[in-house]
Amino acid sequence: MALAAITSLAGCAVVPSDPGVEAGASAEPRALIEIPSERPERPDLTGAPDAVAALLEAEAGHLTTGPDRFAVWVCEVPTDTTSSAYQPAGIRLDLDPAELTDAFNITVTDYFLELSHGAYTPQFEAGGRIELTDTEGPTECIARATELTDDAPGVIAIATAEHRQGTSGGFGDDGASCDAAEPWPCASSVTGRGVYLGASDFHPDWGAVPALDLLEHEIGHVLGWPHSGDLASPYASSIDVMSNSAGPRDVDAAERNGQGTLAVNLLAAGWIPLDDAVVVPAEGSEVTLRPSQSDTGARLAIVPLDATRFLTVEYLRAEGVHGHLPASGVTVTLVSTAESSCASSETERSCRVQETLVGEAPFVDLLAEGESWRGDGWSVEVTALVTDTVELRIAPSP
């Protein structure tokens, strides 16, 4: 059975998906894993610079480790919609929540298992179909999906209509904080946690597997991750799924997943423990790092700037989740948790801005051996680079 077909739908009321619908993916979907009812422990912030401690404290309430669960809903958009988000044409995709669920449980789950080294397992279950009125759009689609979801901590709401050119293809919302009086994990009906997508990435022209990088990007927002790259153009960086998530497909048209993400996001999610981050002292130091996509060892250097800002230095190896990169190398990111960052933050519960400082968009021209970067009163020099490690000299710079 095809994942999507083009049709002209009159729509239907909320209809639970048929659990017997034939799977749209070739591999067997995984059985759902129960989410533990104990709240995650607060992180031990001993020795963390103030700005890093503030970031990790803000992220502590997000569900980023262990199993997670999303109910998948399809919003039927009427052909006479007046919503400015959707294409005015009457073409609608015939999307089945059960088939989408099967595809996500294989490809998207595998992506996050690789990215987190098994620390985070998103799971997807079919919700049903929602008939939108002619005045309802993306906001109402996800709001109705969360209202109809009994206990899943998140929802994925997908419209049957493509968005107008020049409009965003979707959004992710990490939702309101889960009140301590609520049972853990809080249902999306309580928090509003979830993802909304238009239909473009599920068009039959994509083939047997739809483009899933935007979904992975928006789940990143659900995890509390912001955009990165050039602050004036937050979708320009190809080194982070939270910027131009289609970067790998720009290199290989057959690619359907996004790339990896910045090490600061891995730290915030608990996928890189604080013990595996090297805090550079005020006088500077020599630092040896493993690739940020490795599963153990020092994978991130942190340079404190002040109470709300710090630099991160990481080594991206051109393989696996970063296999689209032309060469391995080092990048530097300016992270700000200042209150002013909230104005440009995409997440409700944490405010931070992450600006890529090495090179220009798409930021794939990384620092190679013998090259250096200077800025914000510091210098980063790559003194040696081999497959598994990079040697850095990080020092104050006038």
pLDDT one-digit tens code per residue, 316-329: 999 999 999 999 99
State the DSSP string of 153-199. Answer: SEEEEEESSPBPTTS-SEEEE--S---TTSPSSPPHHHH--EEEE-S
- Apex 292 CA angle, 289 and 295, nearest 5: 95
Domain membership of residue 172 (yes or no) is yes
- Is 92 in the same domain as 143? yes
Question: What span, in angstroms and rounded, lies between the C-alpha atoms of 371 and 368?
Answer: 6
- Is 203 in the same domain as 320? no
Are 103 and 24 in contact by the 8 Å Cβ rule? The answer is yes
Q: Please check the confidence at residue 22 and state whether its pLDDT lies above 70.
A: no
Question: What span, in angstroms and rounded, lies between the C-alpha atoms of 221 and 142?
Answer: 15
Question: What span, in angstroms and rounded, lies between the C-alpha atoms of 168 and 363?
Answer: 22
Tokens of 46: 């001993």
Q: What is the pLDDT of residue 301?
A: 98
- Is 78 in the same domain as 163? yes
State mean pLDDT over 35-61: 88
- Is 197 in the same domain as 297? no
Q: Residue 74 — very low, low, confident or very high, per pLDDT cuts 50/70/90?
A: very high
Domain membership of residue 247 (yes or no) is no
Question: What span, in angstroms and rounded, lies between the C-alpha atoms of 52 and 45?
Answer: 9
- Is 176 in the same domain as 45? yes
State mean pLDDT over 10-34: 47
- Which residue shows structure tokens 């994942």? 3
Q: What share of the chain is helix, strand, coil (3-state, %, to 5)?
A: 20, 25, 50
Q: Residue 14 — very low, low, confident or very high, per pLDDT cuts 50/70/90?
A: very low
- Is 271 in the same domain as 219? no
Please provide the average confidence, as pLDDT, over all residues in the chain.
90
- Is 207 in the same domain as 274? no
- Which residue shows structure tokens 């963390």? 48
* Strands 194-197, 154-159: pairing kind: parallel
Last residue of a domain, one of 161, 196, 224: 224
Last residue of a domain, one of 202, 224, 246: 224
State mean pLDDT over 80-100: 92
Question: What span, in angstroms and rounded, lies between the C-alpha atoms of 243 and 233?
Answer: 9
Q: Helix, strand, or coil here: 332?
A: strand
**Backbone dihedral angles phi then psi of residue 109, each to the nearest 5 degrees:** -60, -45
- Is 267 in the same domain as 355? yes
In the chain, the amino acid numbered 234 is P
Q: What is the pLDDT of residue 342?
A: 66
- Is 25 in the same domain as 167? yes
Q: What is the pLDDT of residue 364?
A: 98
Domain membership of residue 43 (yes or no) is yes
Q: What is the pLDDT of residue 260?
A: 98
Q: Residue 351 — very low, low, confident or very high, per pLDDT cuts 50/70/90?
A: confident
In the chain, the amino acid numbered 39 is R
Last residue of a domain, one of 170, 193, 224: 224
**Backbone dihedral angles phi then psi of residue 356, each to the nearest 5 degrees:** -80, 130
Domain membership of residue 318 (yes or no) is yes
Are 195 and 236 in contact by the 8 Å Cβ rule? The answer is no
| Count of the separate structural domains present in the chain | 2
What's 58's DSSP letter?
A: H
- Is 341 in the same domain as 268? yes
Domain membership of residue 283 (yes or no) is yes
State mean pLDDT over 299-304: 98
Domain membership of residue 125 (yes or no) is yes
Q: Please check the confidence at residue 106 and state whether its pLDDT lies above 80.
A: yes
Q: Please check the confidence at residue 75 and state whether its pLDDT lies above 80.
A: yes
Domain membership of residue 214 (yes or no) is yes
- Which residue shows structure tokens 């510091």? 378
Question: What span, in angstroms and rounded, lies between the C-alpha atoms of 26 and 210?
Answer: 14
More confident residue, 173 or 343: 173
Point out the least confidently predicted range of 19-28, 264-273, 314-323.
Answer: 19-28
Q: What is the pLDDT of residue 3?
A: 55
Residue 267 burial class via C-beta count within 10 angstroms: exposed 0-12, middle 13-18, buried 19 and up: buried
Domain membership of residue 252 (yes or no) is no
Rg (CA), the chain: 21
- Is 216 in the same domain as 271? no
> Could you tell me the pTM of the whole model?
0.92
State mean pLDDT over 213-221: 98
State mean pLDDT over 156-184: 91
Residue 65, CB half-sphere, CA atoms under 13 Å: how many? 19
- Is 170 in the same domain as 268? no
Q: What is the pLDDT of residue 349?
A: 63
State mean pLDDT over 368-382: 98
More confident residue, 172 or 233: 172
Q: What is the pLDDT of residue 33?
A: 87
Cis, peptide link before residue 281, omega less than 30° from 0: no
What is the C-alpha end-to-end distance of the chain, expressed in Å? 63
Are 237 and 245 in contact by the 8 Å Cβ rule? The answer is no
Q: Please check the confidence at residue 15 and state whether its pLDDT lies above 90.
A: no
Q: Which domain holds residue 371?
A: 263-396
Q: Helix, strand, or coil here: 358?
A: coil
Are 110 and 30 in contact by the 8 Å Cβ rule? The answer is no
